[in-house]
A and B are shown apart, each in its own frame.
Chain A
Amino acid sequence: MSEVTAPMAGKVIDVKVNVGDTVSEDDELIILEAMKMEMPLVAPTSGTVKEIKCKKGDSVGADDVLVVIE
Chain B
Amino acid sequence: MIDWNLALKIFTFGLSAVFGSLAILIGAIYAFGKILKNIEKEGN
A–B proximity contact (CB within 8 A) = no
Interface positions of A (Cβ within 8 A of B): none
Interface positions of B (Cβ within 8 A of A): none
